[in-house]
Amino acid sequence: MPHLIYLTAHNFTVMSLGKAARSLVTPVRGVLRCSASALSRSYAAVAEARAVIEHELETIRAAGTWKAERIITSKQGPQISVDGSRGNILNFCANNYLGLSSHPEVVQAGIEALKTHGAGLSSVRFICGTQDLHKKLEQTVAEFHQREDCILYASCFDANAGLFEVLLGPDDAVLSDELNHASIIDGIRLCRAKRLRYKHMDLSDLETKLKEAQSSRMRLVVTDGVFSMDGDVAPLRGICDLAEQYGAMVFIDECHATGFLGPRGRGTDELLGVMDRVHIINSTLGKALGGAAGGYTVGPKPLIDLLRQRSRPYLFSNALPPPVVACATRAVELLLASNEIAQSMTAKTMRFRNKMTQAGFTIAGSAHPICPVMLGDARLATLMADDMLKLGVYVIGFSYPVVPKGKARIRVQISAAHTDEDIDRCVDAFIQTGRKHGVIS
């Protein structure tokens, strides 16, 4: 390995390390008290780690999968300022489905909570980190989903990391869609239940796996309500039918559904008429519900009680900051009061989908605000996204390994905060760049 050659080819001293490598071993006060040979072994270990990391970084660059981050210098919204680009840019790649991230009432609620309840709790919930604001949000979210109780987490990633280990033991089985979100996969890895992965949205494969799991004590079917790369909706009715037939519970991750899917925006379970047949929901406060941060589980009260006692990301992580909690509460209250915002988002989604299809593009999914413009080739997706930015429209190309090989796309996300003119400008930019690259004629 090249880094080992590097180490042996040098008479290894502290000075033979680069400045950055030396900085990896700070603070050094303790180390400096060691013997010279212990010190050089320690530096050698750091230098080796550095070489391994740099090799890994080079592999990512060489594979063309390096994720660069554009720097936004304004608040989140349909129009943003981006460092290095002139003027306002139309933004079509946030999960700000309802445009609540910078909604004046949501922002104001955060400001007030900052004044009345402070910046943060400096504590986990069960020691001295639970405020009236947390209890109010938990109640409001439970009411929104029409479930018995709710527990908040710092993120939905944490909610997914904390659930399965608590609920399922070695005598149980978990049946998980193969394309479930990474946080579900990680959460399931932490539990000791028998793991059965079924093919993406394939009910017949799910049935086979449910039959296999009949000797287990409990069975839990786990699926994203909406899959974020394609905007496709899980066949929840069929899943609930099978779950009932084979004695299983149903869990859904509603990060890309809460607040806007279904007649009152309650989510995939409402959209498909199975609110009373889905048992546990995890979702996020970091997308449609104000977009700040936070996640939660809603479900039966005994489960939520048990999570408060045992769930590790809840027990061993700081309470959500009061301004974040207040912003989310106001967002959910707005949605409880009216479904007007959700309806306006649906109308704009259909405007975009129809115009793009008429122009000759292929858009995956059906009615969801995630609108993947299918292009196939990874390079084409990147080039087109770059050209769109030059026309003042911010979209992102997705390619392997985030999506399967040959299925590269530009993922467009519609927000209620977009105007019809914004949508039309985005479509026009797609037509211009699509023609340039021969995607449409």
Burial bucket for residue 358 (CB in 10 Å: 0-12, 13-18, 19+) = exposed
410: nearest Cα among 432, 437, 386, 435: 386
Structure tokens at 391: 């026309």
- Given the residues 117, 256, 348, 418, select the one marked as catalytic: 256
| By the rule CB under 6 A, 94 interacts with ligand PLP | no
**Applying CB under 6 A, which part among 46-54, 249-257, 300-308, 414-422 lies near ligand PLP?**
249-257
Q: How near is the Cβ of 4 to ligand PLP at its closest, in Å?
A: 38
- Given the residues 181, 209, 279, 287, select the one marked as catalytic: 287
> Which of 91, 131, 223, 228 lies at the binding interface for ligand PLP (CB under 6 A)?
228
| By the rule CB under 6 A, 295 interacts with ligand PLP | yes
| By the rule CB under 6 A, 231 interacts with ligand PLP | no
Q: How near is the Cβ of 188 to ligand PLP at its closest, in Å?
A: 13
C-alpha span between 409 and 396 (Å, rounded): 8
- Given the residues 228, 283, 311, 399, select the one marked as catalytic: 228
Strands 226-227 and 280-284: unpaired
Dihedral pair phi/psi, residue 231, rounded to 5°: 65, 25
> Which of 255, 319, 331, 373 lies at the binding interface for ligand PLP (CB under 6 A)?
255
The C-alpha angle with vertex 226 and arms to 225 and 229, in degrees rounded to 5, equals 150
C-alpha span between 355 and 361 (Å, rounded): 9
C-alpha span between 166 and 170 (Å, rounded): 11
Q: Site mask, ligand PLP, residues 162-201, x = CB under 6 A?
A: -------------------x-x------------------
Amino acid in position 429: A
Q: How near is the Cβ of 369 to ligand PLP at its closest, in Å?
A: 13
| By the rule CB under 6 A, 151 interacts with ligand PLP | no
Q: How near is the Cβ of 441 to ligand PLP at its closest, in Å?
A: 35
**Applying CB under 6 A, which part among 106-114, 153-161, 273-281, 317-325 lies near ligand PLP?**
153-161
C-alpha span between 103 and 97 (Å, rounded): 12
Beta bridge pairs of residue 371:
412
User: Does residue 117 have an active-site annotation?
Assistant: no
> What residues are annotated to the active site?
228, 256, 287
Binding stretches for ligand PLP (CB under 6 A): 155-157, 160, 181, 183, 224, 228, 253, 255-256, 284, 286, 295
